[in-house]
Amino acid sequence: MTEPVLLPQRWWGPSLTRRTLLALLAAMALVWLVLLAQAALTHYRAMDTNPGVRQLAQGLAGALAALEQPTEARALVHGMAHTLNAMRADVDLLQGSPVLLQLQDRAGQLLHSSTAGVPAMVLAGDSGHAPMEVAGAPHWVAWESAGPWRVVAAEPRLPDARLLGFMGEDLAASVLLALPLVGLPLWLAVRTGLRPLARLGAQIAARSAHDLRPLQHLPPERELHGLAQSFDQLLARLRAHLAREKALVHDAAHELRTPMAVIATQAHVLAQAPEGPARAQAGEALMRAVQRAAHLSEQLLTLAALEEAPALHAAPQDLMALLQDCLAERAHWAEGLGVELSLEGPDTWVLPLDRQLLWSALGNVLDNALKHGAGPGAGREVQLRVAQEGGDVVVWIADDGPGIEAGEQARVFERFWRSPRARSSGSGLGLTIAQQAIGHLGGQVRLGPGLHGRGVGFTLRWPVAG
């Protein structure tokens, strides 16, 4: 047995492992975004309720409460501003954004400002905080009063993009640190989880093209068990299909043997016989054998095409006109048999039809009625009735001939089956073809009683939208 050829794996080809790892990266990115949004929301809430600049103003006011001299108060505010801004200069995020401290008396008179040229800020109440414009720039401003002093602290408000960028970088470091801790176990889990699938693929690849047996070792994993069962079901359908093909070839060879033998015999007689009745008789027999073989071949080709599940080609057509064409094509034959053909139904009925499938089904059922249910010594009438029952089209084709024995009715749709009491020879495929054709339309063919308590009737039923 030929060893399966394993193609080298390509990193950029489709891969469940890579897809899973990419999903992990996407999940980590989503976590980063969620954490960033949470951090930003927490920051803005804190700045609205209890900003750091308010705590600075409260602490500085507490220190000023014990001072009575303006010189001492100015020195304290100046020293605090110098120390605080020196510390902020060492932080990249806060560089270039010094805190402004102002010392005012209770009347709002400016006594000292850490930034020259900034006038006294007009504030309401002894204490509070609010976002304000200071020297043309947005600031978080807080003020607090203690003793004879009012201290004002104003911190520049950082641009949102700069603040979010700083937060994002800080969170990214934590997320990147967690990535290998999460990714490595996940990668190992995926690799381990895909091994049963690889074993299943190797088991299938090791089979020959003619080995359609069920899989010997189904994987226990629930996810793969369903896949293996579906594959076994596909193999079962292939086995059934091959069995039907073999049976068709065997039956076709058997059925063609008789007309081929007649052709060979009559050709020999025709070659040896002199001019006269014997030669003419041999010629007629040869022609009948050729016609029978040609008809059988045509029926075999039709059946083979139907078993391959042909695509439907439905188009709006008049069903009554199609039935009239079927009857007109057989009118001369029926007249020679002394059989009356009749059609009952609406004058016209336009609906989506696959003409080829319907023509094949209706024609074969009509041919069966004329061959076996009508003619001298048999029935004299073949009737078609058309109606709609619910959402189905129903065509009933019945004769008043000898009918079919109850014990034989179960076999009428079998390939190559012919009743031993048949009045005329045939391919034994007509009703099988009709059943297959209507089946492709989503319908079925059923056997039932014929006309006037005699004969046999076939009901062809399929959905209107089929």
What type of residue is 155? E
Residues 6+ apart with CB under 8 A from 70: 111
CA distance readout (Å), 405 to 255, 368, 408: 24, 15, 5
CATH architecture of the domain with residue range 311-463: 2-Layer Sandwich (3.30)
Q: What is the pLDDT along the chain (466 residues), one digit of tens a residue?
A: 444 444 444 555 677 777 887 888 888 889 899 998 998 888 888 878 878 888 888 898 888 888 888 888 889 989 988 888 888 888 877 777 888 898 988 888 888 988 888 888 888 888 888 888 888 889 889 999 988 989 999 888 888 888 888 888 888 888 888 888 888 888 888 788 778 878 888 888 888 878 888 887 777 777 777 888 888 888 888 888 777 777 666 656 655 565 666 666 767 666 666 776 766 776 766 676 666 666 556 666 666 666 666 667 788 989 999 999 989 998 998 888 888 999 999 999 999 888 888 888 888 889 888 887 666 666 788 999 999 998 899 999 998 888 777 777 777 777 666 665 555 555 667 788 788 888 888 889 998 888 888 888 999 999 987 5
- Reading the block at residue 367, the tokens are 């041919």
* Nearest residue to 40 (alpha-carbon basis) of 128, 157, 164: 164
Note the pLDDT of residue 285: 65
Q: How far apart are the first and last CA of the chain?
A: 47
CATH architecture of the domain with residue range 222-305: Orthogonal Bundle (1.10)
> With left for phi above 0 and alpha for psi between -120 and 50, is residue 363 left, alpha or beta?
alpha
The answer to whether 78 and 114 are in contact (CB under 8 A) is yes
Note the pLDDT of residue 2: 46
The angle, 0 to 180 degrees and rounded to 10, between the axes of the packed helices 277-307 and 430-440 is 30
pTM of model > 0.75: no
- Reading the block at residue 372, the tokens are 């076996």
Note the pLDDT of residue 348: 92
Question: Cα angle vertex 429, ends 425, 433, to 5°?
Answer: 145
The answer to whether 447 and 404 are in contact (CB under 8 A) is yes
* Nearest residue to 326 (alpha-carbon basis) of 356, 296, 346: 356
Domain boundaries, the chain: 16-34+165-205, 50-158, 222-305, 311-463
Token look-up 């006011």 returns 61
Note the pLDDT of residue 4: 46
Q: How many CB atoms lie within 10 A of CB 439?
A: 16
The DSSP output letter for 10 is -
Note the pLDDT of residue 16: 72
What is the strand order of the sheet 456-463 is part of? 340-344, 381-389, 392-399, 456-463, 444-449
pLDDT digits (tens, 9 = 90+) for 300-356: 666 666 666 666 778 898 999 999 998 999 899 888 888 899 999 999 999 988 888
C-alpha span between 113 and 104 (Å, rounded): 9
C-alpha span between 318 and 350 (Å, rounded): 4
- For 51, phi then psi, to 5°, come to -70, 160
Fold topology of 50-158: Beta-Lactamase (3.30.450)
Note the pLDDT of residue 278: 67
C-alpha span between 250 and 257 (Å, rounded): 11
Q: How many CB atoms lie within 10 A of CB 239?
A: 13
Instruction: Report which secondary-structure segment, H or E, holds 340.
Output: strand 340-344
C-alpha span between 192 and 183 (Å, rounded): 14
Strands 110-113 and 350-353: unpaired
386 beta partners: 395
